Structure 1
Amino acid sequence: MMLSFSALVVALLLSPARSFLGPSEDDDGGGGVPEEWVLLHVVQGHIGAGNYSYLRLNHDGRIILHMQSLKGDADLYVSDRTLHPSFDTYRLQSVTCGPDVVVVPGDFARPVGIGIYGHPSHQESEFEMRVFYDQTVLQDPFDRGSYDSDGQRAEKKSSQAGEEDFQEEESIFWTILIGLLKIILEIVF
């Protein structure tokens, strides 16, 4: 009796999640997503075991990536630092055996790299990814920060450029230091 009650409670708790994550047979194809979400793209593809397929997201705002593995098991890796995210270099991930959902925040730098990985447990994985724009996240109407000609915020671009310059200077410093150490070691030995 207790086991059947537990199963009923689990089924009731999972039913809203199931309607959100995937359309059922009697659904009208909306997939149970909120009305405020606007469908931007539907991407379908195949990926071999242990391989990646890469996509680029340029759309601003809060974006929801909803990927369903139709065959096999495809996993999702997202980054605003590299256009080729993997299981080693990512900011967001979803690596379930079922539907994979990632919410890309509006403050991620664009373009955002999306990596789709074919899990090695299957020779080939087939996936369908729906890309939604969440229009419930309102932009601050008083935020009048400076923008460049590409529509990017100037502060983000300059801070990003400053970080890249710092990394380049650090790299040059280490190159010179290692070169000096080699010369000293050659003289001593």
Structure 2
Amino acid sequence: MKFSKYVTLLVCAVSLQIWGCLSIEIENYFYHLQSFVDDIGPGNYSYFKLSRQGNVRIFVETLEGDADIYVSETNSKPTFEDYDFKSVTCGEDYVDIPDSFKRPAAIAIYGHPRFSETKFRCSVYVDTRDLAQNDPEQQHFETTEDEELTGWHFLLKILEFVLDVAL
């Protein structure tokens, strides 16, 4: 019984390591548009609107406390009870907003109530594969890592299967 727990932990650790490598590969496809730093009190929200078309990633790095992201295309002030997309981890959060999502999209950053203050850095990225398709002069954003990404994706699917069987 203990052996299966160790195997499960090992598979989880390897999966997390691969996710770290995979996220580096995916990050190469994103072009940084802008960043800002803000802080919010416990249980409060900081709102902003996203007008940029295309596939966009909102990335929030918590500097102090715990910041979470909520996104909505219909509600102008999304909450943890009313949203379309969310990311609620401790530390780094991101949400990928597809081009099909209605603009302007409403973004809410929530400061968890267990902290007296939450300080965060919010960064907005656009998928450069969209830029390259829409603007021929932007071809220099194109990367050649599709084959490596596919290999990582395949390995990740195998590890997910092993993890599902182990649990």
TM-score between both structures, scaled by the size of structure 2: 0.68
1:37 maps to a residue whose letter is: F
The alignment-based identity, stated in percent, is: 36
The Cα of 1:119 is off from its aligned counterpart by 0.7
**CA displacement 1:104-137 (0-9 Å, x = unmatched):** 1101111111001101011111111221101324
Q: Where do 1:1-189 residues align within 5 Å?
A: 2=3, 5-19=7-21, 33-137=26-130
The Cα of 1:33 is off from its aligned counterpart by 4.3
Give the number of aligned pairs: 132
Whole-angstrom CA distance in 2 between matches of 1:101 and 1:117: 13
Q: 4+ runs of 1 displaced by more than 6 Å?
A: 138-141
Q: Which has the higher contact order (CA 8 A, sep 6+)?
A: 2
Aligned-residue Cα RMSD (Å) equals 2.5
**CA displacement 1:120-160 (0-9 Å, x = unmatched):** 0111111112211013247998xxxxxxxxxxxxxxxxxxx
Q: Which has the larger radius of gyration?
A: 1
Gapped regions of structure 1 (runs ≥ 5): 22-30, 142-189
2:165 corresponds in structure 1 to none
Gapped regions of structure 2 (runs ≥ 5): 135-167
2:20 maps to a residue whose letter is: R
SS in 2 for 1:66: strand
After superposition, the Cα gap between the structure-2 partners of 1:46 and 1:33, relative to the gap in structure 1 and judged at 3 Å, is farther
1:177 corresponds in structure 2 to none
1:12 maps to a residue whose letter is: V
